[in-house]
Amino acid sequence: MRATVKDVARRAGVSPKTVSNVMNGIVPVSGPTRLRVEQAMAELDYVPNLSARGLRNGRSGVIGLALPDLATPFSAELAQSIVEVAHAQGFSVQIEETGSDPHREHELMTRARANLIDGLILNPVVLKESAVQMGVALPPVVLLGEVTQQLADRVFVDSFAAARDMTLALARPGRRRIAVLGVNRGRQSATAIQRAGGYEAALQTLGIAKDESLMISCDSWTPASAAESLAEYLDANPLPEALFCFTDSMALGALNTLWKRGVRVPDDIAVAGFDDVIDGRFAVPSLTTVSFDKRAIATHALRLLTERMSDRSHGQRLVEIDYTIEERDSSKA
Amino acid sequence: MRATVKDVARRAGVSPKTVSNVMNGIVPVSGPTRLRVEQAMAELDYVPNLSARGLRNGRSGVIGLALPDLATPFSAELAQSIVEVAHAQGFSVQIEETGSDPHREHELMTRARANLIDGLILNPVVLKESAVQMGVALPPVVLLGEVTQQLADRVFVDSFAAARDMTLALARPGRRRIAVLGVNRGRQSATAIQRAGGYEAALQTLGIAKDESLMISCDSWTPASAAESLAEYLDANPLPEALFCFTDSMALGALNTLWKRGVRVPDDIAVAGFDDVIDGRFAVPSLTTVSFDKRAIATHALRLLTERMSDRSHGQRLVEIDYTIEERDSSKA
DNA sequence: CCTGCACATTACATCGATGTAATGTGAGAC
DNA sequence: GTCTCACATTACATCGATGTAATGTGCAGG
């Protein structure tokens, strides 16, 4: 049987509440008493029951992290940052996958409300408005990425501007036939819309007519799907001068397809991605990408979350994370 | 204020316990009553408090997953499988990073004992025996990977045999100067020992004398570290005929270094990895690797864990996961 | 010597769900 | 009409930690 405060109290010859006081350190406890209690805790190998504490305090010390696809390197790096930052602040992280299923997102909110989670960091895909309806009795939520029409706090990179800048960078050496990979066929994700918008804006700036045939769709944002989509595309279309993939993962798939066909990168075609994942940095050739500080995302997301946990009143707050264009070998002129 | 069983009970005109009975479905409830309660729950938007339930039942419905480095694609893919399998069984997953810090592993056990998690799936690095001492009052633990001297349940791939087979495969076209990358300088990880052992066993079978200078050390199993280690190595040593990296992540870093130096893969050197991560499949060239079913690992780990949760008695159990050698472009003869 | 005050400590109630044991309610048998 | 018996439902206690309000202790000042 596990030791409880009661056991510790009995052994130390004090009341349970005093043991609690020693642990929490808010109510002062005299030196000798504190020592006796601490020794008793050590002797009994006492570990507080977090369920009980959570019930009493209304706080579990756990935050939820919900990402669309846990298998991607980007998810992994983001999760790492969030886990580390959260841990530094005494939080544990419960991880969830929303997948393509928008229903899951709602389910998560429910689970959060079940109080096993003090707050939720959510990277939505096709977030239905109904899912995060900021009504009453909802747990604190921080959204990651491009979502419109949501009233929750949000941390994001300006995908539109970044995509625009990347397109401009790809065009600089005089490239004009610039393709994008990652446009969705069916329902567009908010992110895809932003990035496609930035791309089109850049084309306009450059005085290049938009060419629908250069916008390659891709059902899922994975290397496999990207590789396949690009292969099919190249079977039917001429090689563009540059290819801007909406994520690094897709870019890696694209690089593989290009290599298989003997297309040289960057000599025959420049390639770029988005996210700056580690594997992109070590791709062959190393991948030009939109880079941003994932640790900063984690830090701000957690700050917003904890602040909202203690004060639910203030309105929606947005934090924009800077980005840079990292020109690597895959787009060297 | 959130609705509780009491509120639901009042609205439905029954006692709290009846509401509980409706939810749990073990004690039978008559049709009409059940309907009234369900309607009341819906109307009040009732969500059970999991802290309270956890306190009462001694179960939280959460399992912990502790991995050495969350940023790696392998971790991501494994985590995905585990989260999905766990979710299918009604468990949430709390994720933790042990990093290089063996102290963290012990801290996790403590947290587990704090009852916020019902069990722990742990992929140890340099697990000190003291960390997972299977004494009393420890939560159910399933270990992943190569660990010796541990009494906990374990799911693993036979790294020794796999490394041996991979080395033999690399040698098949007559390659004899086969290097390995991933030997640690200081304390060896159990995994590194197994894989190095398999490599040496293969050399012996092949009648090739072991050459210490072909065993390249690498401080951390990341692309960056691998790329750097290999670069330093190539500055001072001739090019081997084959390079077996102890993880795909390291192999990706190695491919990048080789490419930067104009070394052609597989023409000048064959390269192989271990883990079969997605990005390896789409590497340039696609990476030969040791493949195994990550979903199977997740399934078995969860089975062992849940079985031990309900019956703590039986002895240590081991599950071995099959592997295959996937020969891809990076080692084509 | 007593009052007053500061401060450490305690008894008790509480958070929400649920197992236990007891109660209530009905149908069916004689 | 009464007596069982089965079964749905209820009152109460409980899980472990902690806030609240009350109690106890010691010391200084009058």
> What pLDDT, on a 0 to 100 scale, did the predictor assign at position B311?
75
Residues B160-177, mean pLDDT to the nearest whole number: 96
Three-class SS of residue A209?
coil
Residue B261, phi then psi, degrees to nearest 5: -95, 5
For the cut 90, the answer to whether the pLDDT of residue A148 exceeds it is no
> What pLDDT, on a 0 to 100 scale, did the predictor assign at position B180?
97
Question: How many CB atoms sit inside 10 A of residue A26's CB?
Answer: 8
> What pLDDT, on a 0 to 100 scale, did the predictor assign at position B150?
67
Cβ of A205 near strand C (distance < 7 A): no
> What pLDDT, on a 0 to 100 scale, did the predictor assign at position B111?
66
Q: Which residue has the higher pLDDT, A315 or A58?
A: A58
For the cut 70, the answer to whether the pLDDT of residue B128 exceeds it is no
Cβ of residue A116 closer than 8 Å to a chain B Cβ: yes
Mean model confidence pLDDT for chain A: 89
CA distance A113 to A107: 10
Q: Is the peptide bond before B266 cis (omega within 30 degrees of 0)?
A: yes
Residues close to nucleic acid strand D (C-beta < 7 A): A 2, 4-6, 16-17, 19-20, 23-24, 26-27, 46, 48-49, 52-53, 55-57; B 9, 13-18, 21, 27-30, 32-34, 52, 55-56
Cβ of A14 near strand C (distance < 7 A): yes
Mean model confidence pLDDT for chain B: 89
| Percent of chain B residues past pLDDT 70, beyond the cut | 92
Query: For the segment A217-249, what is each residue's pLDDT rounded down to a tens digit?
Result: 998 999 999 999 999 999 999 999 999 999 999
CA distance B192 to B160: 9
Residues A148-176, mean pLDDT to the nearest whole number: 92
Question: Which residue of B72, B224, B256 is in closest CB contact with A76?
Answer: B72
> What pLDDT, on a 0 to 100 scale, did the predictor assign at position B265?
92
> What pLDDT, on a 0 to 100 scale, did the predictor assign at position B135?
47
List the structure tokens of A276: 């700056």
Cβ of residue B7 closer than 8 Å to a chain A Cβ: no
Cβ of residue A110 closer than 8 Å to a chain B Cβ: yes
> What pLDDT, on a 0 to 100 scale, did the predictor assign at position B190?
86
CA distance A85 to A96: 18
Task: Using pLDDT thresholds of 50, 70 and 90, give the confidence band for residue A322.
Answer: very high
CA distance A120 to A108: 9
| Percent of chain A residues past pLDDT 70, beyond the cut | 92
For the cut 60, the answer to whether the pLDDT of residue B134 exceeds it is no
- Residues B249 and B74 sit within 8 Å (Cβ to Cβ): yes
When mean pLDDT is compared across B74-88, B174-188, B200-214, B229-243, the lowest value belongs to: B174-188
Query: For the segment A58-111, what is each residue's pLDDT rounded down to a tens digit?
Result: 889 999 999 999 999 999 999 999 999 999 998 999 999 987 676 777 777 766
For the cut 50, the answer to whether the pLDDT of residue A257 exceeds it is yes
Task: Using pLDDT thresholds of 50, 70 and 90, give the confidence band for residue B126.
Answer: low
Rounded to a whole number of angstroms, the distance between the first and last alpha carbons of chain B is: 69
Please report residues of B whose CB lies closer than 8 A to that of A96: 83, 87, 92-93
Task: Using pLDDT thresholds of 50, 70 and 90, give the confidence band for residue A314.
Answer: confident
For the cut 60, the answer to whether the pLDDT of residue A135 exceeds it is no
Question: How many CB atoms sit inside 10 A of residue A322's CB?
Answer: 11
Query: For the segment B291-315, what is each residue's pLDDT rounded down to a tens digit?
Result: 999 999 999 999 999 998 887 667 8
* Predicted structure pTM score: 0.92
Q: Which residue has the higher pLDDT, A114 or B219?
A: B219
> What pLDDT, on a 0 to 100 scale, did the predictor assign at position B72?
94
Please report residues of B whose CB lies closer than 8 A to that of A284: 255-256, 259, 283-284
Write the CA distances from A24 to A12, A32, A49, B55, B214, integer angstroms.
17, 17, 14, 20, 56
Report for A19-33, A223-237, B150-164: range of highest mean pLDDT:
A223-237
| Percent of chain B residues past pLDDT 90, beyond the cut | 64
Q: Which of residues 164-203 of B touch A (CB under 8 A)?
A: none
- Residues A321 and A297 sit within 8 Å (Cβ to Cβ): yes
Helices and strands counted in chain A (H then E): 12, 12
> What pLDDT, on a 0 to 100 scale, did the predictor assign at position A128?
54
Closest CA to B157 of B76, B302, B276: B276
Question: Which residue of B60, B93, B286 is in closest CB contact with A95?
Answer: B93
